[in-house]
Amino acid sequence: MALPNIRLVRAAPDPLGLYLRIGHTGQKDLQSFISSGDAAFSGVVFDARRVAKQKELLSLVLERRIDAVLDPQTQPMALPGGYIEAMGDLPWSAKRVHTYDDFSPNLRHKIADEIAQFAVANGFTQVLAPTHLLTGPDDRWLDIDIATTKALRLALHRRGGKNIQINYSLAVSYVTFRTASKRKAILDRLRAANIDSVWLHVDGCGADSSPTAVTRYSDAAVDFHDLGLPIVADHMGGLVGLSLLAFGVVGGLSHGITLGERFNCGHWHKVPVPGGPAFAPKLRVYIPPLDLMLPRGDAERLFETGGKARTAFGCRNTACCARGITDMLQAPARHFLYQRTREIAGLSQIPESLRPQQFLEEHLRPASDRAILAKQLPLPETLQKKIDGHSKRLNDLRIVLGTYSQTRRQTSFAQHPKTRAAREVGRQA
């Protein structure tokens, strides 16, 4: 009797990760999105100083088995333009800009314990390690950060938070990140950090990065695969972020709601002017066919050009925007959340080996072609310049990544962050 053929099937990887940073804006929009049952994303990142005002969102996230990630905000706390008075209410704040001395061997354990208590008391399931912006591998903060991260692990266990994951936020300049010797020196030190994932926070990189920067970021990030941990690109979005997922460079993205898709810490270094103007960022309108975020006024001008623009760039998914362009403009957060979660879910369903080519053909090529159409519309001069520059960048990105995809075929793919639901099932097994 012939034996049946046994076919070995590789287990499907965890879905690609998406973490939403909730800042000044978008709290109520995100609550509504989650309540509607469309919350197909990994987690929400809460700034520590805003937790008290976002309790309802936090409770909803925890109820729906989504990861609640605490950002202790130690990175901005240590720079003159990053520290603000509102941070003074946090237990680990010195009520001024942090210095190296605040993280001496005795004090770092106190800070770690205060963060652990805060995380456990508020039900957080993940914590960004209390790290700082690094100038390079010789920066004094690196040894301090690794030691404080180890202390945080011990404190979490002691305070009843042994299942809370620690995501190491590596904040570095683009020059340091792209320089192999500096990057690998930092990487070697991270092996002793006892962490669950690495979040890459690279100054000057994001959704508007040049094609060259995208490939250099990718080459650099692949080195971190050696840690055997999930890699998340923080403050990274747009087609640039999606390309990092598609090419297997990272396993997850983190960004805001129509905002925060680029990490730029230049303002952290500037001493604030007392009484200076404060600018609260406003939600933008996402135009998926163009991979473009526009202020509402510019989006209205785009659609006012006529039928071509409305047909080519208006949302026609009634599950997303029941009233089409009207909802795109009036409910930009929901439109963005729906579209971005679907983009990443779509990539997750494609086998890793096929993702790069399908991304190029189904995402990047159509966006580049649509941008050429947008250039032909009768737009106001300032918007026309924006579209022209964006079109050129998309075309260049398409050419560069088309070639780069050939070199990525034989390299490793980043681990995906494991969802909270999957981790909890694993603990029960």
Query: 158 versus 274: which is more confidently predicted?
Result: 158
Report how far residue 321's alpha carbon sits from residue 331's, in angstroms, rounded to the nearest whole number: 8
Do 259 and 313 lie in one domain? The reply is no
Is the model's pLDDT at 156 over the cut of 50? yes
Is the model's pLDDT at 152 over the cut of 60? yes
Supply the mean pLDDT for the chain: 93
Residue 421 counted as domain residue:
no
Give φ, ψ of 299 to 5 degrees: -65, -40
Mean pLDDT across 45-49: 97
**Per-residue pLDDT reduced to its tens digit, 282-326:** 899 999 999 999 999 999 999 999 899 999 999 999 999 999 999
Amino acid at 30: L
Residue 212 counted as domain residue:
yes
Do 259 and 293 lie in one domain? The reply is no
Query: 22 versus 39: which is more confidently predicted?
Result: 22
Total of domains in the chain: 2
Residue 402 counted as domain residue:
yes
| DSSP secondary structure letter of residue 360 | I
Question: So what's the pLDDT on residue 277?
Answer: 54
Do 243 and 310 lie in one domain? The reply is no
Do 325 and 233 lie in one domain? The reply is no
Asked if residues 240 and 207 have their Cβ atoms less than 8 Å apart, the reply is: yes
6: left (phi over 0), alpha (psi -120 to 50) or beta: beta
| DSSP secondary structure letter of residue 101 | G
Question: So what's the pLDDT on residue 272?
Answer: 74
Number of residues that make up the chain:
429
Domain limit, last residue, from 269, 299, 317: 269
Mean pLDDT across 196-208: 97
Query: What percentage of the chain exceeds 70 in pLDDT?
Result: 94
**Per-residue pLDDT reduced to its tens digit, 403-423:** 999 877 667 899 999 999 999
pLDDT band for position 278 (cuts 50, 70, 90):
low
Do 262 and 290 lie in one domain? The reply is no
Do 236 and 292 lie in one domain? The reply is no
Instruction: Classify burial at 185, counting beta carbons within 10 Å of its beta carbon; exposed 0-12, middle 13-18, buried 19 or more.
Output: middle
Q: Containing domain of residue 78, as a range?
A: 17-269
Mean pLDDT across 52-67: 96
Is the model's pLDDT at 390 over the cut of 60? yes
**Per-residue pLDDT reduced to its tens digit, 166-180:** 999 999 999 999 999
Domain limit, last residue, from 269, 294, 326: 269
Do 221 and 356 lie in one domain? The reply is no
The CATH number of whichever domain residue 262 belongs to comes to 3.20.20.70
Residue 11 counted as domain residue:
no
Is the model's pLDDT at 11 over the cut of 60? no
Do 135 and 188 lie in one domain? The reply is yes
Do 213 and 126 lie in one domain? The reply is yes
Do 170 and 311 lie in one domain? The reply is no
Regarding beta strands 133-134 and 17-22, do their DSSP bridges make them parallel or antiparallel, or are they unpaired? Answer: unpaired
Residue 112 counted as domain residue:
yes
Three-state secondary-structure class, residue 92: coil
Query: 139 versus 25: which is more confidently predicted?
Result: 139
pLDDT band for position 279 (cuts 50, 70, 90):
low
Domain limit, last residue, from 214, 243, 269: 269
Query: 397 versus 412: which is more confidently predicted?
Result: 397
Residue 336 counted as domain residue:
yes
Mean pLDDT across 68-87: 96
Question: So what's the pLDDT on residue 13?
Answer: 60
Three-state secondary-structure class, residue 85: helix
What pTM value is reported for the model? 0.94
Report how far residue 126's alpha carbon sits from residue 167's, in angstroms, rounded to the nearest whole number: 7
The distance between the two most distant Cα atoms of the chain, rounded to a whole number of Å, is: 87
Q: Residue-wise over 132-160: b if at least 16 C-beta within 10 A, else e?
A: bbbebbebebbebbbbbbbbbbebbeebe
Do 242 and 292 lie in one domain? The reply is no
Question: So what's the pLDDT on residue 399?
Answer: 96
Do 258 and 328 lie in one domain? The reply is no
CA atoms within 13 A on the CB side of 168: 27
Question: So what's the pLDDT on residue 254?
Answer: 98
pLDDT band for position 333 (cuts 50, 70, 90):
very high
pLDDT band for position 426 (cuts 50, 70, 90):
confident
Question: So what's the pLDDT on residue 8?
Answer: 41
Residue 63 counted as domain residue:
yes
Residue 102 counted as domain residue:
yes
Is the model's pLDDT at 280 over the cut of 60? yes
Question: So what's the pLDDT on residue 9?
Answer: 39
